[in-house]
């Protein structure tokens, strides 16, 4: 039986998803601290864990590209450092310290194929990933393969996340900012209804890989989602469709379209008495909250500008900066506000990175030879 009073969460990453996680922890009255360290920095991560002594770590840090995943194609070393070395380092440090880690991975590691066509069965956690055509996805596949070897790690595959705000990272803001869209069914994660369940899993130190997508009735096409946005938020929303071939011409990296099976997540959560609301319920609730709390004047230029420039989290805090961090009891070397604690600034030493990462990259059979050639170990 978990005693909530003994729990102490420590979060790596302070971007959009982190803000959502922080809000969910606050709602659950669970104490947390937020790191300012780079996750690939082994000494700093270890030292922070030793000083803060969290019972649970949540890793939301990761490179997802600015303004979008195309960035990762031309910033491969940075992407590897955050998504592979950093993620593996956090998992390994937590393992050494006996701490449970909840890691936010990605579901963008599958693409529809003959056995999993539109409207067919969704990919389960047992299916090997089949999409590494973008460098971002490649790093998410490699990191998942490394992290799932650790007995202390819960990996959450999120996709196309939706939340009750107008942050440029929110899937609905991205969609609304485009005038032309492909119309393909895709699954996605509705964070406000998903995160309380994820906290339940973290509290109970569940491990393994989970597809964390919206559930019943499965995937939504972009047109269906746009229709809901038009109905609930922006009555003036108008768009047209173009083909996947036309879309490919304006992108650097290929994108995947897929639906993931969420039975494993649903079954596990129901064991704890938590039922994820249906996608329609969850979205209507999120859209209602957006209408109540945000300025929803439809200014596409502005939405597009925001989505494209993708401002740093500090410019557009996803979480109020003056919120206190209830468990910040350690004496920080620099403590910028009550939200953040940090303990040390140490130099990056990739020679200290976990052997599992080296092995994964050296034995790379994930059909991305350029990456492993460019990364000298
Ligand atoms: N948003 C999505 O659409 C989506 C979908 C699926 C999965 N995910 C995954 O969810 C995670 C969070 O995404 P997000 O939307 O919250 O992105 P975000 O707003 O860009 O936040 C990412 C955070 O990670 C930090 N970070 C990146 N590399 C780091 C490193 N090496 N050390 C320490 N911090 C580092 C960033 O800090 P700096 O800015 O200082 O680098 C930023 O605070 C990512 O792993 C992402 O791949 C996101």
Residue 250 confidence class, pLDDT cut points 50, 70, 90: confident
Say which CATH architecture domain 4-159+191-215+256-275+318-374 belongs to. 3-Layer(aba) Sandwich (3.40)
User: Is residue 81 in contact with ligand 1, taking CB distance under 6 Å?
Assistant: yes
Average pLDDT, the chain: 80
Q: Is the Cα dihedral 92, 94, 98, 99 positive or negative?
A: negative
Residue 352 confidence class, pLDDT cut points 50, 70, 90: very low
Ligand 1 atom nearest to 312, measured from its CA: 39
Ligand 1 atom nearest to 64, measured from its CA: 47
Q: Using alpha carbons, list the distances in angstroms from residue 241 to 33, 182, 238, 298.
A: 44, 5, 10, 20
Q: What is the pLDDT of residues 210-223, one digit of tens each?
A: 999 865 445 678 88
**Closest Cα partner for 45 from 103, 108, 100, 87?**
87
Residue with tokens 């300025």: 295
Name the phi and psi angles at 210, rounded to 5.
Answer: -130, 130
Pull the structure tokens for residue 161. Answer: 């996340």
Ligand 1 atom nearest to 158, measured from its CA: 6
- Position 158 scores a pLDDT of 95
User: Is residue 71 in contact with ligand 1, taking CB distance under 6 Å?
Assistant: no
For the whole model, what pTM was predicted?
Answer: 0.82
Ligand 1 centre from 91 Cα, in Å? 16
As a whole number of angstroms, the distance between CA 174 and CA 303 comes to: 8
User: Is residue 174 in contact with ligand 1, taking CB distance under 6 Å?
Assistant: no
Q: What is the pLDDT of residues 292-319, one digit of tens each?
A: 888 777 666 677 666 655 432 222 222 2
User: Is residue 54 in contact with ligand 1, taking CB distance under 6 Å?
Assistant: no
- Position 62 scores a pLDDT of 98
Ligand 1, pocket-test mutation among 24, 60, 190, most atoms within 8 A of CB: 60
As a whole number of angstroms, the distance between CA 29 and CA 339 comes to: 15
Mean pLDDT on 232-240: 89
| Helix (H), strand (E) at residue 76 | helix 76-80
Residue 77 confidence class, pLDDT cut points 50, 70, 90: very high
Asked if pLDDT for residue 350 goes beyond 80, the answer is no
Ligand 1 centre from 62 Cα, in Å? 4
As a whole number of angstroms, the distance between CA 115 and CA 112 comes to: 8
Asked if pLDDT for residue 256 goes beyond 80, the answer is yes
Where in the chain does DSSP place strands (E)? Answer: 9-12, 32-34, 56-59, 100-106, 153-158, 180-181, 185-186, 208-211, 220-221, 240-241
User: Is residue 169 in contact with ligand 1, taking CB distance under 6 Å?
Assistant: yes
Query: Three-state SS for 193?
Result: helix
Asked if pLDDT for residue 46 goes beyond 70, the answer is yes
Mean pLDDT on 176-196: 88
Most confident listed range (95-104, 161-170, 179-188, 314-323): 95-104
Compare 240 and 142 and report the one with higher pLDDT: 142
Asked if pLDDT for residue 168 goes beyond 60, the answer is yes
User: Is residue 38 in contact with ligand 1, taking CB distance under 6 Å?
Assistant: yes
User: Is residue 159 in contact with ligand 1, taking CB distance under 6 Å?
Assistant: yes
Ligand 1 centre from 18 Cα, in Å? 8
Give the torsion through C-alpha atoms of 198, 204, 209, 214, to 10 deg. Answer: -20
User: Is residue 60 in contact with ligand 1, taking CB distance under 6 Å?
Assistant: yes
User: Is residue 372 in contact with ligand 1, taking CB distance under 6 Å?
Assistant: no
Q: Name the β-bridge partners of 181.
A: 241
Q: Whose CA is nearest to atom 39 of ligand 1?
A: 312
Residue with tokens 């569940």: 206
Ligand 1, pocket-test mutation among 11, 13, 67, 91, most atoms within 8 A of CB: 13
Ligand 1 centre from 11 Cα, in Å? 12
């Amino acid at each position: 039986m978990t005693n909530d009073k003994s729990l102490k969460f420590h979060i790596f990453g302070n971007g959009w998803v982190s803000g959502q996680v922080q809000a969910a922890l606050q709602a659950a009255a669970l104490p947390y601290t937020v790191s300012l360290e780079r996750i690939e920095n082994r000494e700093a991560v270890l030292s922070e864990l030793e000083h803060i002594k969290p019972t649970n770590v949540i890793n939301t840090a990761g490179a997802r590209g600015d303004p979008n995943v195309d960035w990762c194609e031309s910033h491969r070393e940075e992407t590897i450092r955050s998504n592979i070395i950093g993620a593996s380092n956090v998992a390994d440090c937590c393992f050494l310290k006996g701490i449970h880690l909840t890691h936010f991975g990605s579901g963008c590691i599958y693409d529809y194929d003959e056995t999993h066509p539109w409207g067919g069965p969704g990919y389960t956690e047992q299916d090997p990933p089949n999409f590494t055509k973008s460098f971002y996805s490649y790093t998410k596949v490699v990191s998942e393969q490394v992290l799932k070897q650790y007995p202390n790690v819960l990996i959450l595959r999120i996709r196309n996340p939706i939340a009750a705000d107008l942050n440029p990272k929110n899937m609905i803001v991205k969609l609304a900012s485009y005038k032309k869209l492909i119309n393909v069914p895709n699954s996605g994660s509705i964070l406000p209804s998903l995160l309380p369940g994820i906290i339940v899993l973290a509290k109970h130190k569940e491990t393994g890989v989970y597809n964390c997508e919206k559930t019943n009735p499965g995937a939504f096409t972009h047109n269906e989602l746009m229709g809901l946005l038009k109905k609930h938020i922006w009555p003036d929303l108008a768009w047209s469709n173009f083909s996947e071939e036309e879309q490919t011409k304006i992108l650097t990296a290929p994108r995947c379209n897929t639906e993931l099976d969420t039975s494993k997540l649903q079954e596990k959560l129901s064991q704890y008495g938590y039922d994820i609301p249906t996608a329609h319920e969850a979205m209507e609730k999120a859209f209602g909250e957006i209408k109540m709390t945000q300025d929803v004047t439809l200014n596409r230029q502005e939405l597009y500008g925001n989505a494209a420039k993708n401002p740093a989290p500090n410019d557009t805090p996803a979480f109020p900066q003056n919120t206190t961090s209830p468990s910040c009891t350690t004496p920080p070397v620099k403590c910028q506000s009550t939200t953040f604690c940090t303990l040390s600034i140490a130099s990056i030493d990739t020679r200290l990175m976990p052997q599992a990462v080296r092995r994964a990259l050296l034995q790379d059979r994930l059909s991305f030879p350029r990456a492993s050639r460019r990364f000298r170990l």
